[in-house]
Chain A
Amino acid sequence: MLSSVQNPRILLLHHCRRSKPLHHHHRLRRHHYPKSIHASPLPHPISASLPTSQIQTIQKSILSREKTTRQFAEEFLTRLRTTEPHVKSFLHVSETVLNEADEIDRKIDRNEDVGPLAGVLVAVKDNICTADMPSTAGSKILENYRPPFDATAVRKLKESGAIIVGKTNLDEFGMGSTTEGSAYQVTSNPWNLECVPGGSSGGSAAAVSARQCVVSLGSDTGGSVRQPASFCGVVGLKPTYGRVSRYGLVAYASSLDVIGCFGSSVADAGILLQSICGHDKLDATSSKREVNDFTSQFISKDYFESQPLKGLRVGVISETLGDGVNQEVVSSIRGAISHLEELGCTVTEVSLPSFSLGLPAYYVLASSESSSNLSRYDGVRYGNQTVSDELSSLYGGSRANGFGPEVKRRILMGTYALSAGYYDAYYKRAQQVRTVVQKSFKAALDLHDILISPAAPSAAYKIGEKKNDPLAMYAGDIMTVNVNLAGLPALVLPCGFVKDGSASLPVGFQMIGAAFDEEKLLRVGHIFEQTLQGYSFIPPLIADEFKSSSVKIYQLG
């Protein structure tokens, strides 16, 4: 079956042909771009630049004093200001970014150590606690809430020299796949402002895609980092459960939640992960396993061998390329597969028959755990409180006013599934399915180094399209939820496009690895990305700016 796979160069030709004469901005009637960032034809054919590590560039430039931290910070803040009215990825933007940048510049002047993320603007999903900024989890019940502590991941970022640029939008408490479930605003996809960015970490994905920040943190309970990464054309990394401390991550479903990373290159996502992972005594589920340095493998492609992935055994999950999956998504994945073959991988199909059963099992577990976790929002100790003359109606009123409809529904479904007499029928059975899923992944990963699937069955869809059909939205999570049930690490990276009217929307593919083997995923991802010719994953919203700064170099090639 894999022999019929199209050569990526053929795909490339098709791609260029169809994208050449088309202009994106015809489609955007409701939105007007400022003149400086008007849309351009996409994607850029052939001359497209390979993604580079922005973190490494910043580190090199500021340490060699070629550019100041302030200059980098101003560059990102300017872009943030021009793009934010269209994208709306942030719920809060820090006012101290430039001061923090100046402080780093002063340290460099004094030859002090500034840390591996010095001057790197990091956006943080708003369900991750920051003591000096509001942390609302996208919910009215936490409006203006300022936690008394930083999440461990945030503390580690700050210790590495990172500048937290702001808090990004999300589906309330992470419950959703479009970011439309935020109590505050709807975020747009930078590739097409009429489309959703995915979710629940839609703000973090859109912010990296629109280059409003260098990298960002998200959280992934059932795909909330990987699906928006695919929709927004960025790299998304879901680490192994236990790799990153969950301390300070607003709990949704504790047995599934992980903090994950977004970047515009594999190296950036990997360097970000390196700085936040490791054991934390404040999270009993965080692993004591030693963390290898996996950033040293992000070498220049000039040093790659001719078949740098020779011998790597790749398993394509056959259930994920069947009916119900968009055909253009499937052909993008097939293109990625044949690229992996050219790099030396041995690709075979693998079947995971429990795959589709993972979806209802996931939703039983997530709803049940959320009904328990969200019982803490009682309006008494923090958060919004309604006026009442009696305690139980204060609880009921505060929760009724504070939670949005999707959160209420999941709490009610979870309450049902955990009711006396139903526990065995739902929660326990879902946990048994989790065992089956874990075992089938384990068996598949004994025979393969990595497993491959799409990150989502479609590219980004229109805002409002699935809003009133919960099951349709849940079905979109089929590619990702099983990985959370098994707790495995997965990396999503852009690999192609689907046609979207006159323009294109990015498609990502998912690589799943064995527990705690992020190193391998990042190595393979880096090599894949650095050898994928002819695609540019810079969205139309900002393409002009990037074209003008890099076009000279690529015209030479």
Chain B
Amino acid sequence: MGTRALLLLTPAFKSDCNLLNHFTKYGFHQTVRQQEKLFRVGVRKFSVHSSLERPNVARLAETARISLTPQEAEEFAPKIQQVVDWFGQLQDVDLQSIEPAIRPDTEAGSFREDNPEAFDNREAIIAAIPNYEEPYIKVPKVLNKD
């Protein structure tokens, strides 16, 4: 596991004492003690985790169905790598006892009845289809010989 440093907007903590006071008050003891070492003035340190495979841009592009040119793939690779490395700082925080939140907890979702309804502007939907032959959407062959 190597360590990298990246200059980033820095959280300015007056002192560790302040930080701990805050957390004693609000209670994220575990999290904070782990986080504490991350907050450094000027430079944010984080680890690059060798256990996670680095992004293979060509393979990702294939998965995402985006035909990249070789030049694009070459140009994207370092930028994507840089951001993914930066994501890596999430590995250094102890979040073990914390439930993931799938959305803001402002309000629970409410689902409507799942009843089909006719949409009254069918023509506009059809007009937007690039390749249409009544009543079908036309596409090239689906099966690949390979």
Q: How far is the CA of A409 from the CA of B122 in the complex (A)?
A: 34
Q: Which of A353, A399, A405 contacts B19 (CB 8 A)?
A: A353
Q: How far is the CA of A240 from the CA of B60 in the complex (A)?
A: 34
Is A501 among interface residues, defined by CB-CB distance under 8 A?
A: no
Residue of A nearest to B49 (CB): A425
Q: Which of B103, B110, B144 contacts A487 (CB 8 A)?
A: B103
Is B140 among interface residues, defined by CB-CB distance under 8 A?
A: yes
Interface string of B30-65 (1 = CB under 8 A from A): 011001001101101000010010010100110111
Q: How far is the CA of A395 from the CA of B61 in the complex (A)?
A: 12
Q: Which of A131, A145, A379, A470 contacts B79 (CB 8 A)?
A: A470
Contact A435 B65 (CB under 8 A): no
How many contacts A-B (CB < 8 Å)?
249
* Max chain A Cβ within 10 angstroms of own Cβ: one of B67, B68, B122, B140: B67
**In the complex, chain A residues 390-448 whose Cβ is within 8 Å of any chain B Cβ:** 390-397, 399-400, 403, 405, 408-409, 411-413, 415-417, 419, 422, 425-426, 428-436, 438-440, 443
Q: Which of B19, B38, B61, B82 contacts A351 (CB 8 A)?
A: B19
| List of A residues within 8 angstroms of B23 by Cβ | 353
Contact B67 A397 (CB under 8 A): yes
Knowing A255-B102, A412-B66, the reply to whether A353 touches B13 (Cβ < 8 A) is yes
Is B5 among interface residues, defined by CB-CB distance under 8 A?
A: no
Knowing A356-B44, A403-B66, the reply to whether A255 touches B104 (Cβ < 8 A) is yes
Q: How far is the CA of A216 from the CA of B78 in the complex (A)?
A: 38
| List of A residues within 8 angstroms of B140 by Cβ | 388-391, 394
| List of B residues within 8 angstroms of A435 by Cβ | 98-101
Is A202 among interface residues, defined by CB-CB distance under 8 A?
A: no
Is A360 among interface residues, defined by CB-CB distance under 8 A?
A: yes
Q: How far is the CA of A357 from the CA of B72 in the complex (A)?
A: 30
| List of B residues within 8 angstroms of A396 by Cβ | 65-67
Is A557 among interface residues, defined by CB-CB distance under 8 A?
A: no
Contact B41 A400 (CB under 8 A): no
Q: Which of B9, B121, B137, B144 contacts A148 (CB 8 A)?
A: B121
| List of B residues within 8 angstroms of A284 by Cβ | 109-112
For the complex formed, measure the closest distance between the CB of B141 and the CB atoms of chain A, giving whole angstroms. Answer: 6
Contact B67 A323 (CB under 8 A): no
| List of A residues within 8 angstroms of B1 by Cβ | none
**In the complex, chain B residues 93-146 whose Cβ is within 8 Å of any chain A Cβ:** 93, 95, 98-107, 109-112, 119, 121-122, 124-125, 127-131, 137, 139-142, 144
Contact B41 A323 (CB under 8 A): yes
For the complex formed, measure the closest distance between the CB of A42 and the CB atoms of chain B, giving whole angstroms. Answer: 29
Knowing A353-B35, A385-B130, A436-B95, the reply to whether A322 touches B12 (Cβ < 8 A) is yes
Q: How far is the CA of A515 from the CA of B99 in the complex (A)?
A: 20
Knowing A364-B90, A415-B63, the reply to whether A285 touches B13 (Cβ < 8 A) is no
Is A14 among interface residues, defined by CB-CB distance under 8 A?
A: no
Is A335 among interface residues, defined by CB-CB distance under 8 A?
A: no
Contact A318 B12 (CB under 8 A): yes
* Max chain A Cβ within 10 angstroms of own Cβ: one of B11, B105, B125, B140: B11
Q: How far is the CA of A420 from the CA of B36 in the complex (A)?
A: 30
Contact A382 B10 (CB under 8 A): no
For the complex formed, measure the closest distance between the CB of A433 and the CB atoms of chain B, giving whole angstroms. Answer: 7
Interface string of A504-534 (1 = CB under 8 A from B): 0000000000011000000000000000000
Residue of B nearest to A392 (CB): B144
| List of A residues within 8 angstroms of B66 by Cβ | 396, 399-400, 403, 408, 411-412
Chain B interface residue count: which class? 35 or more
Contact B12 A323 (CB under 8 A): yes
Contact A281 B90 (CB under 8 A): no
Q: Which of A356, A389, A470 contacts B11 (CB 8 A)?
A: A356
| List of B residues within 8 angstroms of A190 by Cβ | none
Knowing A323-B42, A417-B87, the reply to whether A381 touches B128 (Cβ < 8 A) is yes
Q: Which of A281, A397, A408, A485 contacts B76 (CB 8 A)?
A: A408
Is A354 among interface residues, defined by CB-CB distance under 8 A?
A: yes
For the complex formed, measure the closest distance between the CB of A46 and the CB atoms of chain B, giving whole angstroms. Answer: 35
| 30 intermolecular pairs with C-beta atoms under 8 Å apart | A146-B127, A147-B124, A147-B128, A149-B119, A242-B106, A242-B107, A255-B102, A281-B112, A351-B13, A353-B39, A354-B28, A360-B86, A361-B90, A379-B130, A385-B130, A385-B131, A391-B140, A391-B141, A399-B64, A399-B65, A412-B60, A412-B64, A413-B83, A422-B52, A425-B91, A426-B90, A440-B28, A470-B82, A484-B104, A486-B104
Spell out B's residues near A (CB within 8 Å).
6, 8-14, 18-19, 22-23, 25-26, 28, 31-32, 35, 38-39, 41-42, 44, 49, 52, 55, 57, 60-61, 63-69, 72, 76, 79-80, 82-84, 86-87, 89-91, 93, 95, 98-107, 109-112, 119, 121-122, 124-125, 127-131, 137, 139-142, 144
Spell out A's residues near B (CB within 8 Å).
131, 145-149, 240-242, 255-256, 281, 284-285, 287-289, 318-319, 321-325, 351, 353-357, 359-361, 363-364, 371, 375, 378-385, 388-397, 399-400, 403, 405, 408-409, 411-413, 415-417, 419, 422, 425-426, 428-436, 438-440, 443, 457, 470-471, 474-475, 478, 484-488, 515-516
A-B contacts besides A429-B95, A478-B9, 14 pairs, CB < 8 Å: A131-B124, A242-B106, A288-B107, A321-B12, A360-B87, A371-B64, A380-B130, A409-B80, A413-B80, A419-B63, A434-B100, A484-B104, A488-B106, A516-B106
